[in-house]
Structure 1
Amino acid sequence: MKKHPLNRRIHLAGLAMATGVALTAGAAQAQDKGSVHLAYVEWSSEVASTNVVRAVLEQEGFEVDMTSLSAAAMWQAVASRDADAIVAAWLPTTHADYMERVGDEVVDLGPNLDGTKLGLVVPEYTDVDSIAELDDNAEDFDGNIVGIDPGAGIMSLTEEVLEAYELEEISLQSGSGATMTAALQSAINNEQDIVVTGWTPHWMFARWDLKYLDDPENVYGGAEQIHTIARQGLEEDMPEAYAILDAFEWTPEQMGEVMLMNQEDDADPYENAKQWVADNQDVVQEWLPES
């Protein structure tokens, strides 16, 4: 049975408070077509994509609420129908554990972006070229890999990297996407070595000269895709919103445009997404169901 919208909002707000984040309001006024709840993880790529989808849905008359959660809570929110969809599922590797746990309770709408990659990243000037070399050069990196939020799939994969390469002099430091890029910028400004957990697409590759460390054990796997995941019953409840989510697909270059816009001083990801949608209606029209 579908939950009453008010009950769902109260439950979702409680979930957000429990994970230390706040529920972000959608459109200022309710629209005739109802409300769509999008969950996302606070990565620059997912901030960009989720706000773009929000802008498109609002353009088509839906109210949209967004909630920033940890990766695990994001998946669980869709599985429990507290959120309607996410456009932030990294598959088949990064979020494999989450898909295995709740895959039978959600609907995979397929990839919305091809050509992703993840691994350990260093400045181009760094002499180290392979993960296998890290232990012998641990002092250059202060014995640390600078990571992101502990619930992220790339963090669990990096824990596997430490074991697979028997890295005894290197530890994984958790934080957030913002603290990771801040540490990277500081190191580059001072021409110091640093190793961070990284992924493509990400705006940092457009801003700095970086390289992935070789992964001969292939722990991080090959190229991935970012999928759209919907709650069960959404197609029946909101067929038009479901169709837009199902058709949403863009390129790393298009996502990169939005991510770079979001790095400007005083940038508002929501306003930037609306601007991008307005400037790229030819792309957006491909995501809309035929009248």
Structure 2
Amino acid sequence: MLLFSIVLIAVMAGCSNGGGNKSVKLAYVAWDSEIASTNVVKEVLESKLGYQVEMLQVDAGPMWAGIADGSADGMVAAWLPSTHASYLQKYQSKVEDLGANLEGTKIGLTVPAYMNISSIDDLNKPDVAKSLQNQIIGIEPGAGIMMASEKALNDYALKGYTLLESSSAAMAQEMQKAYDAKKPIVVTGWTPHWMFAKMDLKYLADPKGVYGGDEQIHTIVRKGLEEDEAAAYQFLDQFRWTAADMQSVMSAIQDGKTPEDAAKDWVNSNPDKVNEWIKGIKSE
């Protein structure tokens, strides 16, 4: 009887907190913006809704493919309508778009404000090209901004230029190093990003519209998530925040906090916003 009671208590405890059965897999790309947002989403799912969350760091293509084939449950990192347009076109029948979680994002070629150029066309000037060693510092291959930058090389006839593949972290480090030394540099940049808070930067004008206009970051989930994990689905559907919110988490990480601690601190400091995200969700 004692053994039965212990087992019964354990089972009931397991039911009350999900018993490890309430789990969600979140895919993301290791961009500073998506590290911030995905960790905040993870913190809310775990601390407020009792989920166990697995974070899957991948490149942009596998991130979309993972949602489409069900190996991941969702992501809060879809840059639309332009940056990830090709991925949405490929997978839209296999995923569910829950809409924008952040408005007013932007991508483009980015330089320090002290550089005396204002347009992508200016990169064709011989003295500018020489000062930049005919290099544009990029991020991970397969990222939407990299595909747009390849198109920019062609559309603006940037002959002799090389788009260097790296990572978002390496790109930002190169920008910081060049900025500190007041040297010329051009990178694939986007906002929100901590670089724009730490340094005086500007986008090069894009008269051909290669990089599109203002964008949004969307939440994308796998088909069937609503039926399988109603609480997680409802939270992801209600998740909305601002560029300033994201910027504060990114800056905390850049200043030395771990992504987990930065997310936890932000969630604890913004109860009203978090309560809106989980409003109406039935406890399971």
Residue 7 (structure 1) aligns with: none
Residue 46 (structure 2) aligns with: 58
Distance in 2 between residues matched to 1:32 and 1:173, nearest whole Å: 43
Q: Deviation digits for residues 189-208 of structure 1, max 9, x if unmatched?
A: 11100000000100000000
Name the Cα RMSD after superposition: 1.2
Q: Is the 8 A contact 1:33 1:61 kept in 2?
A: no
Q: What amino acid does structure 2 have at the position aligned with 1:106?
A: V
Distance in 2 between residues matched to 1:185 and 1:256, nearest whole Å: 17
Q: How many residues align?
A: 262
What SS class does the counterpart of residue 187 from structure 1 fall into? helix
Does residue 114 (structure 1) correspond to residue 126 (structure 2)? The answer is no
Of 167, 180, 183, which aligns to 2:174?
Answer: 183
Residue 37 (structure 1) aligns with: 25
Residue 75 (structure 1) aligns with: 64
Q: Map 1:262-273 to 2 at 5 A.
A: 262-265=253-256, 267-273=257-263
Q: Is the 8 A contact 1:135 1:170 kept in 2?
A: no
Q: Which runs of 5+ in 1 are unaligned?
A: 1-28
Residue 289 (structure 1) aligns with: 279
Identity %: 50
Q: Which runs of 5+ in 2 are unaligned?
A: 1-16
Distance in 2 between residues matched to 1:135 and 1:145, nearest whole Å: 12
Residue 9 (structure 2) aligns with: none
Q: Deviation digits for residues 139-192 of structure 1, max 9, x if unmatched?
A: 111110000001100000000001110110322111001110111111111110
Distance in 2 between residues matched to 1:113 and 1:33, nearest whole Å: 30
Of 144, 156, 161, which aligns to 1:165?
Answer: 156
Q: Map 1:141-160 to 2 at 5 A.
A: 141-160=132-151
Q: What amino acid does structure 2 have at the position aligned with 1:36?
A: V
Of 229, 233, 244, which aligns to 1:238?
Answer: 229
Q: Give the TM-score taking structure 2 as reference length.
A: 0.90
Residue 219 (structure 1) aligns with: 210
What SS class does the counterpart of residue 110 from structure 2 fall into? strand
Q: Which range moved further: 166-175 or 119-128? A: 166-175
Distance in 2 between residues matched to 1:203 and 1:30, nearest whole Å: 36
Q: Is the 8 A contact 1:134 1:170 kept in 2?
A: no
Give the superposition deviation at 1:271. Answer: 1.5
Give the superposition deviation at 1:289. Answer: 3.3
Distance in 1 between residues matched to 2:66 and 2:260, nearest whole Å: 22
Distance in 2 between residues matched to 1:86 and 1:148, nearest whole Å: 20
Distance in 2 between residues matched to 1:62 and 1:247, nearest whole Å: 17
Query: Residue 239 and residue 30 in structure 1: after superposition, are their counterparts in 2 closer, same or farther (change >3 A)?
Result: closer
Q: What amino acid does structure 1 have at the position aligned with 2:103?
A: D
Residue 46 (structure 1) aligns with: 34
What SS class does the counterpart of residue 140 from structure 2 fall into? coil
> Greater CA radius of gyration, 1 or 2?
2
Residue 199 (structure 1) aligns with: 190
Of 251, 261, 264, which aligns to 2:242?
Answer: 251
4+ aligned runs moved over 3 Å, structure 1? 29-33
Q: Deviation digits for residues 108-164 of structure 1, max 9, x if unmatched?
A: 000000000000000000001100010212011111000000110000000000111
Residue 127 (structure 1) aligns with: 116
What SS class does the counterpart of residue 197 from structure 2 fall into? helix
Distance in 1 between residues matched to 2:174 and 2:52, nearest whole Å: 37
Does residue 84 (structure 1) correspond to residue 86 (structure 2)? The answer is no
Q: Deviation digits for residues 203-233 of structure 1, max 9, x if unmatched?
A: 0000000000000111101000000000000
